[in-house]
Amino acid sequence: MYNDVPMSAPPQTDILDVLPRGRHAAPRPVVRHAQRTRMLAAMVQAVADKGYARVAVADVIERAGVSRKTFYEQFANKDDCFLAAYDATVDELLATIDEALEALAPDWLAAHRAAVYAYLEALAASPEFARAFLIEVLGAGPEALSRRDAVQDRFAAQLSDVHRRARADIPAIPDVPPYTFRAAVGAVTELVTAHVLEHGAETLPELADAVLDVQLALLVGRQVAEALAPRAGA
Protein backbone atom coordinates (compact mmCIF):
# COMPACT_ATOMS: atom_id res chain seq x y z
CA MET A 1 0.00 0.00 0.00
CA TYR A 2 2.73 2.45 0.96
CA ASN A 3 5.71 0.73 -0.64
CA ASP A 4 6.49 3.58 -3.01
CA VAL A 5 7.26 6.02 -0.23
CA PRO A 6 10.89 7.16 -0.60
CA MET A 7 13.18 6.50 2.35
CA SER A 8 16.20 8.46 3.48
CA ALA A 9 18.41 7.44 6.38
CA PRO A 10 18.80 10.01 9.16
CA PRO A 11 22.24 11.55 9.61
CA GLN A 12 24.41 9.61 12.01
CA THR A 13 26.54 11.12 14.74
CA ASP A 14 29.74 9.65 16.08
CA ILE A 15 29.09 9.39 19.80
CA LEU A 16 32.68 8.58 20.69
CA ASP A 17 34.34 11.97 20.65
CA VAL A 18 38.11 12.13 20.11
CA LEU A 19 39.61 14.78 22.36
CA PRO A 20 42.99 16.47 22.09
CA ARG A 21 45.52 15.78 24.81
CA GLY A 22 48.61 17.42 26.27
CA ARG A 23 49.16 21.12 25.58
CA HIS A 24 45.96 21.25 23.53
CA ALA A 25 43.83 19.31 25.98
CA ALA A 26 40.14 20.16 25.99
CA PRO A 27 38.65 22.15 28.90
CA ARG A 28 37.35 20.06 31.79
CA PRO A 29 33.62 20.62 30.99
CA VAL A 30 34.23 19.38 27.45
CA VAL A 31 36.06 16.32 28.77
CA ARG A 32 33.23 15.57 31.22
CA HIS A 33 30.65 15.89 28.47
CA ALA A 34 32.60 13.53 26.22
CA GLN A 35 33.05 11.05 29.06
CA ARG A 36 29.34 11.19 29.82
CA THR A 37 28.48 10.64 26.17
CA ARG A 38 30.76 7.60 26.02
CA MET A 39 29.30 6.16 29.21
CA LEU A 40 25.72 6.59 27.99
CA ALA A 41 26.62 4.89 24.72
CA ALA A 42 28.44 2.14 26.60
CA MET A 43 25.39 1.55 28.80
CA VAL A 44 23.14 1.12 25.77
CA GLN A 45 25.64 -1.25 24.16
CA ALA A 46 26.06 -3.33 27.31
CA VAL A 47 22.33 -3.58 27.93
CA ALA A 48 21.70 -4.65 24.34
CA ASP A 49 24.45 -7.29 24.55
CA LYS A 50 23.85 -8.72 28.02
CA GLY A 51 20.37 -7.67 29.09
CA TYR A 52 19.75 -5.05 31.74
CA ALA A 53 19.72 -7.45 34.71
CA ARG A 54 23.20 -8.80 33.90
CA VAL A 55 24.90 -5.48 33.25
CA ALA A 56 27.26 -4.14 35.92
CA VAL A 57 29.03 -0.80 36.26
CA ALA A 58 32.22 -2.62 35.28
CA ASP A 59 30.74 -3.35 31.85
CA VAL A 60 30.06 0.33 31.28
CA ILE A 61 33.43 1.69 32.35
CA GLU A 62 35.29 -0.96 30.34
CA ARG A 63 33.38 -0.14 27.16
CA ALA A 64 33.56 3.62 27.72
CA GLY A 65 37.26 3.61 28.58
CA VAL A 66 36.82 5.55 31.83
CA SER A 67 37.65 4.89 35.46
CA ARG A 68 35.21 3.81 38.13
CA LYS A 69 35.84 7.17 39.83
CA THR A 70 34.80 8.98 36.65
CA PHE A 71 31.61 6.93 36.45
CA TYR A 72 30.56 7.77 40.01
CA GLU A 73 31.37 11.44 39.51
CA GLN A 74 28.43 11.57 37.09
CA PHE A 75 26.09 8.73 38.03
CA ALA A 76 24.85 7.39 41.36
CA ASN A 77 24.62 3.80 40.11
CA LYS A 78 23.79 1.61 37.15
CA ASP A 79 20.12 2.57 37.23
CA ASP A 80 20.95 6.27 37.13
CA CYS A 81 23.18 5.80 34.10
CA PHE A 82 20.59 3.74 32.26
CA LEU A 83 17.85 6.29 32.89
CA ALA A 84 20.11 9.08 31.65
CA ALA A 85 20.89 7.09 28.51
CA TYR A 86 17.22 6.34 27.97
CA ASP A 87 16.20 9.98 28.37
CA ALA A 88 18.92 11.29 26.07
CA THR A 89 18.28 8.84 23.26
CA VAL A 90 14.50 9.13 23.50
CA ASP A 91 14.70 12.92 23.37
CA GLU A 92 16.76 12.66 20.19
CA LEU A 93 14.33 10.14 18.69
CA LEU A 94 11.30 12.31 19.41
CA ALA A 95 13.06 15.38 18.05
CA THR A 96 13.78 13.48 14.83
CA ILE A 97 10.09 12.62 14.50
CA ASP A 98 9.04 16.20 15.26
CA GLU A 99 11.39 17.48 12.56
CA ALA A 100 9.84 15.11 10.03
CA LEU A 101 6.34 16.24 11.01
CA GLU A 102 7.20 19.93 10.77
CA ALA A 103 9.16 19.70 7.52
CA LEU A 104 6.02 18.68 5.63
CA ALA A 105 3.49 20.28 7.97
CA PRO A 106 1.11 21.67 5.32
CA ASP A 107 0.52 18.11 4.06
CA TRP A 108 -0.45 16.15 7.17
CA LEU A 109 -0.42 12.78 5.38
CA ALA A 110 3.04 13.27 3.87
CA ALA A 111 4.27 14.57 7.22
CA HIS A 112 2.91 11.57 9.09
CA ARG A 113 4.35 9.19 6.51
CA ALA A 114 7.76 10.85 6.87
CA ALA A 115 7.51 10.65 10.65
CA VAL A 116 6.84 6.91 10.54
CA TYR A 117 9.89 6.34 8.35
CA ALA A 118 12.02 8.62 10.54
CA TYR A 119 11.04 6.54 13.60
CA LEU A 120 11.70 3.18 11.99
CA GLU A 121 14.92 4.25 10.29
CA ALA A 122 16.29 5.77 13.50
CA LEU A 123 15.75 2.48 15.32
CA ALA A 124 17.16 0.50 12.39
CA ALA A 125 20.28 2.68 12.37
CA SER A 126 20.90 1.93 16.06
CA PRO A 127 19.86 -1.67 16.79
CA GLU A 128 21.37 -1.55 20.28
CA PHE A 129 19.25 1.45 21.22
CA ALA A 130 16.19 -0.21 19.67
CA ARG A 131 16.60 -3.20 21.95
CA ALA A 132 17.21 -1.08 25.05
CA PHE A 133 14.35 1.30 24.18
CA LEU A 134 11.76 -1.34 23.35
CA ILE A 135 12.67 -4.41 25.39
CA GLU A 136 15.24 -3.96 28.16
CA VAL A 137 13.49 -0.91 29.63
CA LEU A 138 10.66 -3.22 30.71
CA GLY A 139 12.98 -4.92 33.21
CA ALA A 140 14.84 -1.84 34.43
CA GLY A 141 12.64 -1.06 37.43
CA PRO A 142 9.69 1.18 38.35
CA GLU A 143 11.37 4.47 37.47
CA ALA A 144 12.26 3.20 34.00
CA LEU A 145 8.66 2.10 33.48
CA SER A 146 7.50 5.55 34.57
CA ARG A 147 9.85 7.17 32.03
CA ARG A 148 8.56 4.78 29.36
CA ASP A 149 4.98 5.73 30.19
CA ALA A 150 5.84 9.41 29.79
CA VAL A 151 7.42 8.67 26.41
CA GLN A 152 4.28 6.84 25.30
CA ASP A 153 2.32 9.97 26.23
CA ARG A 154 4.64 12.08 24.08
CA PHE A 155 4.15 9.76 21.12
CA ALA A 156 0.39 9.92 21.69
CA ALA A 157 0.55 13.72 21.65
CA GLN A 158 2.27 13.59 18.27
CA LEU A 159 -0.51 11.38 16.92
CA SER A 160 -3.14 13.67 18.42
CA ASP A 161 -1.64 16.54 16.42
CA VAL A 162 -1.69 14.42 13.26
CA HIS A 163 -5.38 13.69 13.87
CA ARG A 164 -6.13 17.38 14.37
CA ARG A 165 -4.43 18.25 11.07
CA ALA A 166 -6.24 15.44 9.29
CA ARG A 167 -9.64 16.66 10.48
CA ALA A 168 -8.82 20.18 9.33
CA ASP A 169 -8.07 18.75 5.87
CA ILE A 170 -10.95 16.24 5.74
CA PRO A 171 -13.96 17.39 7.84
CA ALA A 172 -15.65 14.00 7.44
CA ILE A 173 -13.03 12.40 9.71
CA PRO A 174 -14.73 11.85 13.09
CA ASP A 175 -13.34 12.99 16.39
CA VAL A 176 -11.94 10.22 18.56
CA PRO A 177 -11.49 9.87 22.34
CA PRO A 178 -8.01 10.64 23.74
CA TYR A 179 -7.29 7.01 24.59
CA THR A 180 -7.28 6.24 20.86
CA PHE A 181 -3.86 7.84 20.53
CA ARG A 182 -2.37 5.77 23.35
CA ALA A 183 -3.94 2.68 21.78
CA ALA A 184 -2.29 3.53 18.46
CA VAL A 185 1.07 3.95 20.20
CA GLY A 186 0.64 0.63 21.97
CA ALA A 187 -0.28 -1.18 18.77
CA VAL A 188 2.77 0.17 16.94
CA THR A 189 5.06 -0.59 19.89
CA GLU A 190 3.85 -4.19 19.85
CA LEU A 191 4.43 -4.52 16.10
CA VAL A 192 7.89 -2.98 16.26
CA THR A 193 8.96 -4.95 19.34
CA ALA A 194 7.85 -8.25 17.80
CA HIS A 195 9.79 -7.42 14.64
CA VAL A 196 12.96 -6.63 16.60
CA LEU A 197 12.70 -9.90 18.53
CA GLU A 198 12.02 -12.00 15.44
CA HIS A 199 14.05 -10.29 12.72
CA GLY A 200 16.29 -7.69 14.35
CA ALA A 201 16.03 -3.91 14.19
CA GLU A 202 17.99 -3.44 10.97
CA THR A 203 14.98 -4.31 8.78
CA LEU A 204 12.41 -2.22 10.66
CA PRO A 205 11.72 0.10 7.68
CA GLU A 206 10.06 -2.92 6.06
CA LEU A 207 7.35 -2.53 8.70
CA ALA A 208 6.32 0.94 7.50
CA ASP A 209 3.27 -0.28 5.58
CA ALA A 210 1.87 -2.08 8.61
CA VAL A 211 2.55 0.84 10.95
CA LEU A 212 0.91 3.34 8.60
CA ASP A 213 -2.07 1.06 8.07
CA VAL A 214 -2.71 0.57 11.78
CA GLN A 215 -2.25 4.22 12.68
CA LEU A 216 -4.41 5.60 9.89
CA ALA A 217 -7.17 3.10 10.61
CA LEU A 218 -7.28 4.30 14.22
CA LEU A 219 -6.77 8.01 13.52
CA VAL A 220 -9.08 8.56 10.55
CA GLY A 221 -11.15 5.35 10.30
CA ARG A 222 -10.69 2.36 8.03
CA GLN A 223 -12.86 3.72 5.22
CA VAL A 224 -11.00 7.02 4.98
CA ALA A 225 -7.66 5.26 5.39
CA GLU A 226 -8.37 3.04 2.41
CA ALA A 227 -9.39 6.06 0.34
CA LEU A 228 -6.13 7.77 1.30
CA ALA A 229 -3.96 4.80 0.35
CA PRO A 230 -3.22 6.04 -3.21
CA ARG A 231 -2.14 9.41 -1.82
CA ALA A 232 -0.01 7.75 0.84
CA GLY A 233 1.79 5.67 -1.76
CA ALA A 234 2.23 8.48 -4.25
Three-class HEC string of the chain: CCCCCCCCCCCCCCCCCCCCCHHHCCCHHHHHHHHHHHHHHHHHHHHHHHCHHHCCHHHHHHHHCCCHHHHHHHCCCHHHHHHHHHHHHHHHHHHHHHHHHHHCCCCHHHHHHHHHHHHHHHHHHCHHHHHHHHCHHHHCCHHHHHHHHHHHHHHHHHHHHHHHHHHHHCCCCCCCCCHHHHHHHHHHHHHHHHHHHHHCHHHHHHHHHHHHHHHHHHHHCHHHHHHHHHHHCC
What CATH number did the domain enclosing 184 receive? 1.10.357
**Residue 234 pLDDT grade (very low, low, confident, very high; cuts 50, 70, 90):** very low
Kindly state whether residue 192 falls inside one of the protein's structural domains.
yes
Mean pLDDT score, 32-42: 92
Kindly state whether residue 159 falls inside one of the protein's structural domains.
yes
Kindly state whether residue 3 falls inside one of the protein's structural domains.
no
Q: What is the pLDDT of residue 31?
A: 79
Asked if the model's pLDDT at residue 157 lies above 50, the reply is yes
Mean pLDDT score, 48-67: 96
Kindly state whether residue 175 falls inside one of the protein's structural domains.
yes
